[in-house]
């Protein structure tokens, strides 16, 4: 019997040829001039799912770009894996910074360069080819799968909530697998099992009816910039802790074994200082950089503005001042509750002499799959066996609204099995994907689905 | 014989037409794209001085925009009045808040709307027309005059010191008269005998080498906006007092009789609250609004900015944050000393994790003239006779570095005879000038110069 490895080796050329074809279609979801390309890409994707032997393959319309769906449901006694990916890509500007054209895939130095190479066509393609390979080797898929590949991830998945809600039954599964994240570092296989949520608001302060001359009114009327600085500085103490009342109340503390796992990663903080060119790292006292960005909630000012911003000085006492504030939330915290607490803090700490309004931004709940869940542990083992390196079990500081959607509506564990590298320029010129991760990732995905077939999810 | 009053009435239309012509030239000294307009304005001004019969009219170059000069020196036994004004104006942003275009003067409700209407083309123009009128009525000017109109007041008069120093002999006079300030309230003639000085700086904070994703780095790297908010909020206590060390050390306390004079003005703070549409006044505890803005030093943030300022949210941890800070200074305070203290405060209170630089702005010393000086008293009487209302002898909160320059180099008394009103939006959109003050002011200026001719300055 031919092995997975032999099959993958024999088909490597063809896989890369097919991936290049897919990458050649400029599926930029954000730009209306690519509407035709989006349709072509969806069709190409559907054809692939049919070719590899999935059933009931459909291009399912949404209010925006369609979702491509296919399934294989031949086993009563095997888990059903929902695989999510996206066929749309980021715009390519500034185009002049690309060394080779973004939609003419180029392989050099064992990397494939193209828009979408790592985010997310390259990674989605690996699941498609893993399924094809498993079928070729075993004569059938060892598990049940449902594959959905959307076309609006890069514009914030505006229609995904409604889609998942509408097809709740159709999408029902035992586990969701997504490869749209990065490995913690080159050569270190990574399973991510948690993401932070998001909540925030804009606060707009108003002083006098218009800008005033700081000579005539300065010192006699509250300056909205002073009030804003005072308000914002009241939100952290000097140890980097958020001082909004009750902010940390519902935070689920990190388990000792998780903390130990993070410590064991030996994350190099001094390399990060060097890379970012900061004088030092700074954050909530008592936590490492990884803890601060993975499992601790934050409050960040994303923008702050008022008064004169041009060159030199204009002695104005401005009428208005504003700040945009967002919080990254961790399991236990509720976005609505946090916005309420922010509002209460602002109400309480707003200096005299100004009026204000607040406007909440879109929210996202934090998400975590228990670290000892079999879907997580089997994924880690599958990676470890292929890479020959201990798997890093991580959380990530960013938010993934799609994870929130699936978790809320379908109520299932989520495995984020990323093969990208942070250095691969996703969302930037010269996006690329390391082919050693393409090769090893394909083997690891096959290994994972074989494992799930054997052990199930209990 | 035709009287001053009759002549002014007959020429009113023409005066307003000429003023509108002058206001139509966008003489924004701060912006290099208006260089041509500055030259045109200087030429227009020089032509006016020639037209009204001044002699030796010149456009005198400086390293920046030129000074326009003209003189009338026919009397051996009369005082020589140096009249100062400026033909440059502030920028017009935010342009969308103007009801009519800033350089298309519009007269409505007996006010003229345009950038420069009150600050300072409108007020400078009154002196030009007063001289023209006096000459028409008397056949000669009753006093000697030197008129100098500069083009860099709104950018801090960077070349005036050198100019006055160079032409010290040429500019020699018995008194300097400036109309570039405001009346204390509508209908209340005002002579100002003191101004605050100015010192300030920009502070620029730098965090990482570029903007960071707030999900991946938020909470683990100092946010320059947090650092800036903390720094700025450290500069005042909650009672409105400046907390920069030694800031008040050299302030000369207000004399009891001056305080009594200010109290006697019965300044209506509640009317000001109503006018400015602020919920309340706010400033250093223990002082009235007039004291806070006339005789107490201040520290104001004039601009503060960093991060995302567009619509909605961008979850960025910005690399940079900046603030523009200026202090109004009172007699006893030295601008250089204050900038040093600001620098020391910033050094001491800058949070960890960022680097920073400071850049000082142009400075101006505070200035005061004894209020019983004849030049001040005659001015008050001249105003009282025209307005039929007791003159307010005041100080003002604004800075006029030029007053300091003239006082230092030429050593002469200075009369600030302002006809603007605080509500006239100078330095803001919809700047305007009340024409009743244009009319009465013209008569008062004529009256003043006739008085000086009769009584001299002893």
Residues A161 and A234 in one domain: no
Residues B173 and B226 in one domain: no
Q: Residues with Cβ < 8 Å from A316, sequence gap 6 or more?
A: A211, A212, A213, A214, A307, A308, B302, B303, B427, B428
Q: Which segments of B26-120 does DSSP mark as H helices, in order?
A: 35-51
pLDDT for residue A18: 98
State the complex-level ipTM: 0.84
Q: Which residues of A touch B277 (CB under 8 A)?
A: 208-209
How confident is the model over B300-349, as pLDDT tens digits? 999 999 999 999 888 889 999 999 999 999 989 999 999 999 999 999 99
Q: How many C-beta neighbours within 10 Å does residue A61 have?
A: 12
Average pLDDT over residues B267-289: 95
Residues B36 and B163 in one domain: yes
| Strands A80-86 and A175-178, bridge-based pairing | parallel
Asked whether the predicted pLDDT for residue B131 surpasses 90, the reply is: yes
How large is the angle between the packed helices B435-455 and B374-387, nearest 10 degrees?
A: 130
Low-confidence ranges of chain A (pLDDT < 50): none
Average pLDDT over residues B145-155: 97
What torsion, rounded to 10 degrees, do the Cα atoms A10, A13, A18, A19 define? 110
Asked whether the predicted pLDDT for residue B254 surpasses 90, the reply is: no
What torsion, rounded to 10 degrees, do the Cα atoms A115, A121, A123, A125 define? -140
pLDDT for residue A254: 87
Percent of chain B with pLDDT over 70: 100
Residues B274 and B215 in one domain: yes
Residue of A nearest to B91 (CA): A314
* Structural domain includes residue A167: yes
How confident is the model over A88-131, as pLDDT tens digits? 999 998 899 999 999 999 999 999 999 999 999 999 999 999 99
Residues A353 and A373 in one domain: no
**pLDDT band at residue B429 using 50, 70 and 90 as cut-offs:** very high
CB contact B364 to A (< 8 Å): no
- Which of the two residues, B408 and B337, has the higher pLDDT score? B337
pLDDT for residue B1: 57
Residues B77 and B177 in one domain: yes
Question: Does residue B343 contact residue B203 with C-beta atoms inside 8 Å?
Answer: no
Mutate to test the interface with A, among B222, B237, B304 (most CBs of A within 10 A): B304
pLDDT for residue B58: 98
Q: Which residues of A touch B219 (CB under 8 A)?
A: 240, 283-284, 292-293, 296-298, 300, 328, 397
Phi, psi of B205 (to 5 degrees): -105, 145
The count of domains in chain B is: 2
Residues B28 and B84 in one domain: yes
pLDDT for residue A424: 94
- Boundary residue ending a domain (B360, B387, B420): B360
CA–CA distances in Å: residue A397 to residues A287, A407, B117, B348? 14, 17, 55, 32
ω into A94 cis (within 30 of 0) = yes
* Structural domain includes residue B365: no
Residues A376 and A398 in one domain: yes
Cβ within 8 Å of B, A 234-263: 234, 236, 238, 240
Instruction: Tell if the CB–CB gap between A223 and B284 is shorter than 8 Å.
Output: no
Residues A112 and A167 in one domain: yes
How confident is the model over B55-76, as pLDDT tens digits? 999 999 999 999 999 999 999 9
Closest partner CB to B355 (pick from A279, A352, A355): A279
Containing domain of residue A344, as a range?
A: 197-251+297-360
Cα B171 from chain centroid (whole Å): 21
pLDDT for residue A401: 80
The rounded distance, in Å, linking the Cα atoms of B133 and A419 is: 86
Residues B174 and B206 in one domain: no
The rounded distance, in Å, linking the Cα atoms of A369 and A375 is: 9
Give how far A308 is from chain B: nearest CA, Å: 4
Residues B135 and B210 in one domain: no
Instruction: Tell if the CB–CB gap between A219 and B300 is shorter than 8 Å.
Output: yes
The rounded distance, in Å, linking the Cα atoms of A255 and A332 is: 14
- Cα atoms in the 13 Å half-sphere on the side-chain side of A39: 4
* Structural domain includes residue B48: yes
Residues A236 and A150 in one domain: no
């Amino acid at each position: 019997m031919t092995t997975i490895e032999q099959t993958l080796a024999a088909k490597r050329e063809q896989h890369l040829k097919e991936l290049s074809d897919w990458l050649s279609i400029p599926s930029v979801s954000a730009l209306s001039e690519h509407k035709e390309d989006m349709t072509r890409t969806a069709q190409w994707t559907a054809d692939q799912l049919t070719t590899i032997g999935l059933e009931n393959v459909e291009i399912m319309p949404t209010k925006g770009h369609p979702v491509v769906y296919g399934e294989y449901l031949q086993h009563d006694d095997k888990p059903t894996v929902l695989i999510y990916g996206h066929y749309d890509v980021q715009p390519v500007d500034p185009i002049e910074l690309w060394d080779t054209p973004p939609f003419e895939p180029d392989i050099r130095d064992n990397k494939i360069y193209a828009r979408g190479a790592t985010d997310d066509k390259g990674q989605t393609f690996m699941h498609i080819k893993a399924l094809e390979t498993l079928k070729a080797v075993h004569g059938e898929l060892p598990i049940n799968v449902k594959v959905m590949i959307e076309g609006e991830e890069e514009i914030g998945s505006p229609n995904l909530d409604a889609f998942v809600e509408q097809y709740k039954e159709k999408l029902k599964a035992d586990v969701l697998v997504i490869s749209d994240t990065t490995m913690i570092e080159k050569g270190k296989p990574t399973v991510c099992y948690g993401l932070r949520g998001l909540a925030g608001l804009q606060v707009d302060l108003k002083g006098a009816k218009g800008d005033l001359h700081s000579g005539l009114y300065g010192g006699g009327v509250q300056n909205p910039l002073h009030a804003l600085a005072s308000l914002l500085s009241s939100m952290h103490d000097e140890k980097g802790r958020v001082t909004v009342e009750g902010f940390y109340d519902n935070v689920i503390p990190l388990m000792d074994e998780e903390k130990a796992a993070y410590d064991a990663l030996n994350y190099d903080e001094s390399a990060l200082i060097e890379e970012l060119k900061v004088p030092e790292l700074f954050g909530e006292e008592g936590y490492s950089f990884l803890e601060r960005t993975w499992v601790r909630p934050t409050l960040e000012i994303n923008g702050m503005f008022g008064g004169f911003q041009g060159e030199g000085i204009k002695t104005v006492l401005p009428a208005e001042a504003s700040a945009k504030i967002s919080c990254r939330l961790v399991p236990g915290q509720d976005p609505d509750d946090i916005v309420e607490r922010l509002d209460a803090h602002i109400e309480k700490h707003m200096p005299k002499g100004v009026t204000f309004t607040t406007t909440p931004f879109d929210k996202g709940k934090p998400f975590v799959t228990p670290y000892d869940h079999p879907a997580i542990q089997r994924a880690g083992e599958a990676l470890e066996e292929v890479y020959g390196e201990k798997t890093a079990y991580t959380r990530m500081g960013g938010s993934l609204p799609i994870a929130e959607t699936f978790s809320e509506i379908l109520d299932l564990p989520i495995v984020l099995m990323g093969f990208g590298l942070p250095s691969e320029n996703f969302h930037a010129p010269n996006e690329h994907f390391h082919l050693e991760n393409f090769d090893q990732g394909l083997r690891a995905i096959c290994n994972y689905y074989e494992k799930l077939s054997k052990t199930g999810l209990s």
